[in-house]
A and B are shown apart, each in its own frame.
Chain A
Amino acid sequence: MTTTPFVKLDGVAKRWNGQLGVEGIKLDIPEGSFTALLGPSGCGKSTTLRLLAGLELPDEGKILIDGKDVTTSAASDRNLSMVFQSYALFPHLSVAENVMFGLKVRRVPKKERLEKLHRALEITGLLGLEDRKPGELSGGQRQRVALARAIVAGQRLCLMDEPLSNLDAKLRNAVRKDIKKLQRDLGITVVYVTHDQTEAMSMADTVVLMKDGHIQQVGSPEDLYSRPNNTFVAEFVGAPPMALLQSSVLDGFGDDKTIGIRAENIQIVPKGEGRMRCTVNESEFLGAETLIGLDHAGAAGLCVLKPGLSMMAEGNEIDISFHDENLHVFDAAGQRLAG
């Protein structure tokens, strides 16, 4: 049985004066899912979101929401809400007026408007702040006002453009959980743009990793982590990222491939028993474990995790080993080979 996707982008492209914006975006988003668009800055993730929102119009391709072709529709006709990175709250309006702005514009009767306002403020924990202006709120409260404004109208699709990037690290963790819970409780479809892989990996059902305007991989967080499509995904996802070795340093892999290996799959073994000999270049104490950075002529980003505090002196030579089933093999162009 095939279900038609709630949101569908089909071959969407947008170019800025000949420069690349996004190219060939093909994406199916099922209803009620949480999709994160992830990538380094300038990769086109925000552009994709704005195309979806109707704030930009695509040069090519089609966009469908809920089975309707909205490629050239105005933003207001797409039945979606959006949370902006800067929150885009109206500074002269109170919290209540900000949240109800869209309802007022759409001429929702006053009684219904107030009920919806109350519910949205209750969900976001803003009751009692109705009459404050955005300037009188903390960053976290402003963020929640933006969320309340997005959910008050009960739209089934909500777009979020880096909504947490202006919060401090501690608050970010808390709000991350709140947003995820909100999305589940309300059963809405969320498309979420972020450059922070922790956010994407911890919140999303599906992660869309982008680079230079192209989608690199679409999949569950687990997919991206354990079966990266190419060397870019391998090096982007995970902390620490996957180490890449030239296949010539290992036996039996030929000369023109790239081998990927994650830090947790590497063991330090007694001298003479390892598959590679490396030099320690730094030791980073992370709390529960210590990250040992290693240098090797044919490898980049090689490191190993040791439990607890166990610093190693810089310049030490150690042997490392790993099992073949934990290796990821990429061809000369960086594409994953089967396995």
Chain B
Amino acid sequence: MSAHANLERRRQAIYGWLLLSPAAVLLTLFAFYPSVATLWSSLFSRGTRRKPTEFVGTENYAELFADPTFWIVVKNNLLYAGITIPVSIFIALSMALWANGKIRARGFVRTAYFTPTVLPMIAAANLWLFFYTPGLGVLDQIGSLFGLPSVNWLGQPETALWAIIIVTIWKEAGFFMIFYLAALQTIPADLKEAADIEGASRWTYTRRIVLPLLMPTTLFIAVNAMINSVKLIDHLFILTKGGPSDASKLILYYIYEMAFAFFDAPSAAAMTMMVIGVLGIVAAVQFLYLDKRTHYQ
């Protein structure tokens, strides 16, 4: 190998590292280091004035597993994710297929669908508070027209979580639809024509051609929806504060409560670690398993 080629190779390597370093520094500072620090602090006891912090190993985790509220929160979050992810993806896809078709006022329909995403979370939550308020709220107003009794949607354990779920779907479907619309634009029109000539119905075309070609988008959206389902907190502050009796409490809200209401930082850290672990595993499964079955153009 000549000295010239060697020098060129080294120059390329330095160039590469220089391009990489801003992201590496920021990620280390604000993502990797905090994660490791969280893991570290989850292994220590909560310090008080009389009892200093000491290493307790997995004791914080064991305590969490024994905490009934923790299990309620886990159950709530599973239900929340299990409903919002598939339903919002389904609605987003249906809306995208419709808004992509030859309909009148297409621009208006697209904008209308996207509006919930543009609204700030707090504003959206306040809007829904107005819908859900017993007696005065829009839902009750409509219900009373048909002689239905007033329902306190957010104030009773049976309906509180469902009310939150509906708000989330309303907000996410429009956002995901934009991704689907963008992906639909990349499917050439002549595929539809070729399928038409072969005698494929609209449904066959959608199922055999469109959906498989949308798989990369679906995968991306599914991962995002999953992350969102453990990230939700602002709606809870406005709408229910996790109540009544923990019926609508989700994991991040509980972590927040642990850390800043009960000042139990080690427990909050332990819970955070579990969330990171679960998210990591699910994301790995999604990408490793589904990726193989997905066609990328």
Contact = CB atoms under 8 A, between A and B. Distances in A.
Interface of A: 53-55, 74-76, 80-82, 84, 86, 88, 90-92, 101-102, 105-106, 133, 135, 149, 153
B262 to A, nearest CB: 51
A98 to B, nearest CB: 9
A102 B209 CA distance: 13
Contacts, number: 63
B188 interface: yes
10 shortest interchain CB distances as A-B pairs: A102-B198, A76-B199, A92-B295, A88-B194, A88-B190, A75-B196, A92-B212, A105-B200, A75-B197, A84-B190
Contact of A53 (B195, B197, B200, B204): B197
Nearest to B187: A91
B204 A105 contact: yes
Interface of B: 188, 190-191, 193-201, 204, 208-209, 212-213, 295, 297
Kindly name the residue among A81, A91, A135 whose own CB sees the greatest number of chain B CB atoms within 10 A.
A91
Contacts of B200: 76, 101-102, 105
Contacts of B201: 105
Interface centre among A54, A90, A133, A135 (most CB of B within 10 A): A90
16 contacts: A54-B196, A55-B197, A74-B196, A76-B198, A76-B199, A82-B193, A82-B197, A84-B193, A88-B194, A91-B297, A92-B213, A102-B197, A102-B199, A102-B200, A105-B198, A105-B200
Given A91-B213, A92-B213, A92-B295, A80 B197 contact: yes
Contacts of A76: 196-200
A133 B295 CA distance: 10
A81 B197 CA distance: 7
Given A74-B196, A84-B190, A105-B198, 4 more contacts: A90-B194, A102-B198, A106-B199, A133-B295
Interface on chain B toward A: helix, strand, loop, or mixed SS?
A: helix
A105 B194 contact: no
B190 A75 contact: no
Contacts of A91: 213, 295, 297
A84 B188 CA distance: 12
A129 to B, nearest CB: 18
A106 B213 CA distance: 22
Contacts of B213: 91-92
A54 B212 CA distance: 26
A82 B297 contact: no
A81 B193 CA distance: 11
Nearest to B294: A92
Nearest to A135: B297
A90 B209 CA distance: 7
A84 B197 CA distance: 11
B188 A86 contact: yes
Contact of A75 (B193, B212, B295): B193
B199 A55 contact: no
Contacts of A80: 197
A80 B196 CA distance: 11
